[in-house]
Amino acid sequence: MHVTHDAAAGIAAEIGFDAFLAVDIRVGTIIEALPFPQARKPAYRLAIDFGPVIGIKRSSAQITEHYTLEDLAGRQVAAVVNFPPRQIGPMMSEVLTLGFPDADGKVVLVTPSKDVPNGGRLF
């Protein structure tokens, strides 16, 4: 099954609830945001605290259009924590930080509307 990032492409193929449960989406707090000039597309290097069970994980995120480095520390975000690590330039990205495209296709982060404990799982 091929899943596209193009919002205009329509709805992805129907899946069972077990497939949804296989994707482990957790909330964490960004504790460090750094420039990532080695990335092919403009991005930041993030360190995200997912609480005592999962710990701190690293992510490369293409979120430079809507966020400055100063905006990010302390912000809670949602991320997939059970994909295999992926090499992005010189860094290993351990989680996929989630976002939605704005009208121009630039990433807007998925964040809870109220503070929640780090490590909480999306359901």
- Among left, alpha and beta (phi > 0; psi -120 to 50; other), residue 38 is alpha
CA angle 23, 37, 79 (to 5 degrees): 15
What fold, for 24-109? OB fold (Dihydrolipoamide Acetyltransferase, E2P) (2.40.50)
Which of the four pLDDT bands, split at 50, 70 and 90, describes residue 5? low
Confidence of residue 3 (pLDDT cuts 50, 70, 90): very low
pLDDT band at 7 (very low <50, low <70, confident <90, very high): low
Split at pLDDT 50, 70, 90, the class of 10 is confident
* Band of pLDDT at residue 95, cut at 50, 70 and 90: very high
Say what the pTM is: 0.89
Q: How far does CA 87 lie from the centroid of its chain? A: 15
pLDDT band at 4 (very low <50, low <70, confident <90, very high): very low
Quote the pLDDT of residue 101. Answer: 96
Model confidence at 82: pLDDT above 90: yes
Query: How many other β-carbons are positioned within 10 Å of the β-carbon of residue 11?
Result: 5
Per-domain residue ranges for the chain?
24-109
Contact 96, 85 (CB under 8 A): no
